[in-house]
Amino acid sequence: GEDVEQSLFLSVREGDSSVINCTYTDSSSTYLYWYKQEPGAGLQLLTYIFSNMDMKQDQRLTVLLNKKDKHLSLRIADTQTGDSAIYFCAESPAGAGNNRKLIWGLGTSLAVNP
Amino acid sequence: DVKVTQSSRYLVKRTGEKVFLECVQDMDHENMFWYRQDPGLGLRLIYFSYDVKMKEKGDIPEGYSVSREKKERFSLILESASTNQTSMYLCASRPTGTYGYTFGSGTRLTVV
């Protein structure tokens, strides 16, 4: 079935780059997403990538997509303490009736140490 | 600024009470969703709606029902609250197509 996997924890030093990884199983997925959740808050869409792209850059964020390996990564350059949050990977399956739902990973908790 | 608004940030209810969680969006989105979020379990879909008066069960609908009488409002109902329904509840909306969700701030429900 459909599944999205992420490592649960990542710890980095302030100023370093963070790389959060995600693997998914549905090769028909059209869009893949990264969401950020700060403590006690809802989820905020950070960025997304269309499945025919390899890379997308948006300021400090770089998304890399390897469709062959079904691997998605989010790189945060110059990580700041304000980047401490849970980061969720999600895919949008292309099957009929499925385009309304996203499949979610469990989230990676990023801790940024001063 | 577009918004999904959940009526309460924190709620404390007693076991057996009927609980209503309200969600309103101002983006004219067709699709609305209710999730619960628990540590170690991620986001689990309870119900979703793709049109007014339409609803579909998600992965964990037991003990819940929903109502969507107007496009902008999607209500989650706990018919008889139980302690295992203590959780963070997140509402989201999404236009038809492949764009991402917009989430509300969440309602942390405690059932005692």
Task: Say yes or no to pLDDT of A30 above 90.
Answer: no
In chain B, whose CA is at the least distance from the CA of A29?
B98
Can you give the length of chain A in residues? 114
Helix (H) and strand (E) counts for chain B?
Answer: 0, 11
Looking at chain B from residue 66 to 95, which residues have their Cβ under 8 Å from any Cβ of chain A? 90, 92, 94
Among B48, B98, B105, the residue with its CB nearest the CB of A30 is B98
Mutate to test the interface with B, among A7, A22, A58, A100 (most CBs of B within 10 A): A100
Looking at chain B from residue 21 to 40, which residues have their Cβ under 8 Å from any Cβ of chain A? 31, 33, 40
Q: What's the mean per-residue pLDDT of chain A?
A: 90
Phi, psi of A103 (to 5 degrees): -105, 125
Measure the CA–CA gap between B11 and B2, rounded to whole angstroms: 25
What angle is formed at CA B75 by the lines to CA B73 and CA B78, rounded to 5 degrees? 175
Model pLDDT for residues B30-48, shown as the tens digit of each residue: 999 999 999 888 899 999 9
B41 contacts chain A (CB < 8 A): yes
Among A42, A45, A99, the residue with its CB nearest the CB of B100 is A45
Minimal CA separation from B94 to chain A, in Å: 8
Among A31, A41, A48, the residue with its CB nearest the CB of B106 is A41
Bridge pairing between strands B87-94 and B107-111: antiparallel
Say whether B42 and A42 touch across the interface (CB within 8 A). Answer: no
Task: Say yes or no to pLDDT of A13 above 90.
Answer: yes
Higher-confidence residue of B95 and B19: namely B19
Task: Say yes or no to pLDDT of A96 above 50.
Answer: no
The answer to whether B25 and B79 have CB atoms below 8 angstroms apart is no
Model pLDDT for residues B48-89, shown as the tens digit of each residue: 999 998 999 999 999 999 999 999 999 999 999 999 999 999
